[in-house]
């Protein structure tokens, strides 16, 4: 699967968003994670980890975006995410 690449312009800055990984787990796919590499005009990068957790019986929900450095991502992210991140950065 090739990463999705989008180019955005925000406040005079160009950002390139590269979809790294998506996974839905749980019996109903109610636990979702999106990992996206953000490349800035100056060549720097960071990773956004969006997640959504729903507890169907209780009706509770937790969501969050986390902003991580590339090094943090390589330390804590699942293997599929780190493999894709290394692949994209090596291109």
Kindly list the structural domains of the chain, giving each domain's residue range(s) and its CATH number in brackets, ordered by start: 5-90 (3.10.450)
Q: Give the pLDDT confidence score for residue 1 in this predicted structure.
A: 45
Q: What is the pTM of this model?
A: 0.76
Q: Mind listing the pLDDT tens digit of every residue in the chain (91 residues)?
A: 445 555 555 555 668 899 999 998 888 777 889 999 999 888 899 999 998 877 666 666 777 789 999 999 999 999 999 999 999 999 8
Burial of residue 47, with CB atoms counted within 10 A of its CB: 0-12 exposed, 13-18 middle, 19 or more buried: buried
| 11 φψ region: left (φ > 0), alpha (ψ -120 to 50), beta (else) | left
Q: Give the pLDDT confidence score for residue 2 in this predicted structure.
A: 47
CA 12, distance to chain mean position in Å, is 23
Q: Give the pLDDT confidence score for residue 35 in this predicted structure.
A: 95
Question: Distance between CA 47 and CA 68 in Å, rounded?
Answer: 5
């Amino acid at each position: 699967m090739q990463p999705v690449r989008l180019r955005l312009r925000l406040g005079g800055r160009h950002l390139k968003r590269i979809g790294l990984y998506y996974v839905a787990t749980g019996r109903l796919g109610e636990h979702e994670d999106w990992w996206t590499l953000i490349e800035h005009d100056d060549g720097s990068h960071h990773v956004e980890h969006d997640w959504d957790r729903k507890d169907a019986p209780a009706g509770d929900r937790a969501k969050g975006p986390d902003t991580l450095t590339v090094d943090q991502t390589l330390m804590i992210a699942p293997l599929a995410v780190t493999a894709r991140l290394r692949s994209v950065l090596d291109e």
